[in-house]
Structure 1
């Protein structure tokens, strides 16, 4: 079974995923992979925030838990409709400030949970 990659480092505007040479500003991670989270793909902004469309790709990877990092000062909103979308799909969701989100995500990875995440590394 593919395990979720650990987040190797996080600082303002920069994230590194273990086993990947790319430095991300915002990223999506799932069991077996990661990529840039490009807000332009779905027209996402800090408000109203994270949309189901931002999460679909990660949800389709069969995650049991999804961690959303709202940014260093939590500027990124997460509407109730997005949380509902995850719950309807039987996915546990954690919405946290990004540093806390990464800690929580890495703890779940260490426990072998099928975890995914979307992380915003600035504001």
Structure 2
């Protein structure tokens, strides 16, 4: 199963190819995507992305996770989150969201089992 292409990104809106939903923040993995609802894990810009935000994506058997920190990189990614991924044998890429989407799509196009979490505003 391949990772779906992120078809478009603009402030506050993301579209994933093959999905009719427009996301503000989203999670993607081989074969699927869904809204990334920060309320599920109590996530805020600081301290930022938590291992709990990534568990669902990790369970999909990804090789790489791309994290989009927002358009202005307001979303933090603590070292504990990076360590969590590395301990699970997963490569991690942390970038500003537009660059993160480009990297994610490039990896997906090469057939890498890539997942990601993307914040489309600040």
Q: In which range does the TM-score fall when normalised by the shorter chain?
A: over 0.9
Mapped partners of 1:9, 1:41: distance in 2 = 25
Cα offsets for 1:59-89 (capped at 9, x unmatched): 0000000000000000000000000000000
**Structure 1 residues 52-91: aligned runs within 5 Å:** 52-91=51-90
Mapped partners of 1:110, 1:42: distance in 2 = 30
Please give the TM-score of this superposition, normalised by the length of structure 1. Answer: 0.99
Cα offsets for 1:7-56 (capped at 9, x unmatched): 00000000000000000000000000000000000000000000000000
Please give the TM-score of this superposition, normalised by the length of structure 2. Answer: 1.00
Q: Which runs of 5+ in 1 are unaligned?
A: none
Q: Secondary structure at the match of 2:61?
A: coil
Q: Which runs of 5+ in 2 are unaligned?
A: none
Aligned residues: 122
Cα offsets for 1:75-115 (capped at 9, x unmatched): 00000000000000000000000000000000000100000
The alignment's C-alpha RMSD in Å is 0.2
